[in-house]
Copies of this chain bind each other. A is one copy, B any other.
């Protein structure tokens, strides 16, 4: 018996899963472990930056007014009354024609309103007292980094949901986040199905293939920012499978099975979904590859039945699972980032379905060019390795030619897109 399945549009399928977005959870981690996580609250400055008026250079702090008459012909001399390094505070007030030797980052002492760079001064010692002289005048404010000129206390610098990169780490350190609130990584379980599967450590056998999808998906889960948990391969026994799925669901936030979603007689997934009472959100999508992607929901948990075909499995994850993960990180742009590119070579085979062609991007004088990644049968794993984008080709009756503009979805990007599925349509020839 062939089961009837009604394909739905990609955008509709994405919409259906997004309604089941996983609830955001927050945890606090030590600063350095927050790197490459997603910030769970707005980062506001707890202080001005700089938090005091400071010297950006090594030199001498002076009262600008004392420098007014200094020229090459008539240098003005200042009595050096002390020195101050970064991290220290000079307590006295500097008086007329006095100068304080000051290091980069040190606070401007009371009385001073300008800093003269060291290399523009001359020093001499008279009667055991050091003096320095300058041969030009300075305006008040010269070479002073004023309190708050970079950042004002209370200013929101980084929005909740931001990916934490080295620059964000610097801000977090500056504002005293020894511990950082980040979104918890959802745990995504992976079960491989298929009696043809060997694990990578097993020697090849006739009719069998090594399980590559489960490992690939685990890497995709990690790239999306979540934690992967592998449950191994399904048993051949349906009742055992049902128990395995129940057990896995109790340990994860999201469960992915690979394989077992097509209409072959040996595919258990529909029976399992029925047995555990999961609601199938869709089991066919009008796209290539990945048309037999199935998603079901049970008590708010999503179960993904991705294709056993590597390319279809890869696409299904990126379109339907990744945005759920990224949404759990508070991202307003959880979907694959969509941009425009120029098609790098002809892609002439027409197809009635929306296609996601794995592709490699490069720049031609700053212009994004997308070239299909090698041999493009949906069974080929080799081209997945070089792909860093999908070219989205809307279904239609004609092919696409080199240099035509196409939509691309970026795979190695952390920024994402809000909702890339509107207006994905055919372009007319340039």
Interface residues of A (CB under 8 A from B): 2, 31-32, 35-36, 47, 49-52, 56, 58, 83, 85-89, 101, 103-107, 118-119, 145, 149-151, 157-158, 162, 164-178, 194-197, 199-204, 206-220, 222-223, 228, 230, 262-266, 308-310, 314, 339-342, 363, 365-368, 375, 377, 379-388, 405, 412, 414
Pick from B218, B219, B314, B340: contact of A366, CB below 8 A. Answer: B340
Using A365-B340, A381-B167, A381-B170 as known contacts, say yes or no to A204 and B150 having CB atoms under 8 A apart.
Answer: no
The complex places the Cα of A53 from the Cα of B428 at a distance, in Å, of 40
Contact A215 B169 (CB under 8 A): yes
Contact B230 A32 (CB under 8 A): yes
Given contact pairs A149-B377, A173-B214, a sample of 10 additional A-B residue pairs in the complex whose CB atoms are under 8 Å apart: A49-B382, A58-B264, A87-B194, A89-B206, A105-B194, A165-B223, A170-B213, A170-B219, A170-B384, A342-B366
Contact B381 A220 (CB under 8 A): no
Pick from B89, B101, B204: contact of A207, CB below 8 A. Answer: B89
**Shortest CB distance A312–B (Å):** 11
Copies of this chain: 2
Contact A200 B172 (CB under 8 A): yes
**Shortest CB distance A237–B (Å):** 14
Closest B residue to A363 by beta carbon equals B339
3 closest residue pairs by CB, A with B: A87-B196, A167-B384, A178-B201
**Shortest CB distance A315–B (Å):** 12
**Shortest CB distance A87–B (Å):** 3
Residues of chain B lying within 8 A (CB to CB) of residue A314: 166-167, 170
Contact B262 A104 (CB under 8 A): yes
Q: List 20 A-B contacts (CB under 8 A).
A: A85-B195, A86-B207, A107-B206, A150-B380, A150-B381, A151-B382, A166-B216, A166-B314, A167-B381, A167-B385, A167-B387, A170-B385, A171-B384, A172-B200, A173-B211, A173-B212, A174-B381, A175-B210, A178-B200, A366-B405
Closest B residue to A151 by beta carbon equals B382
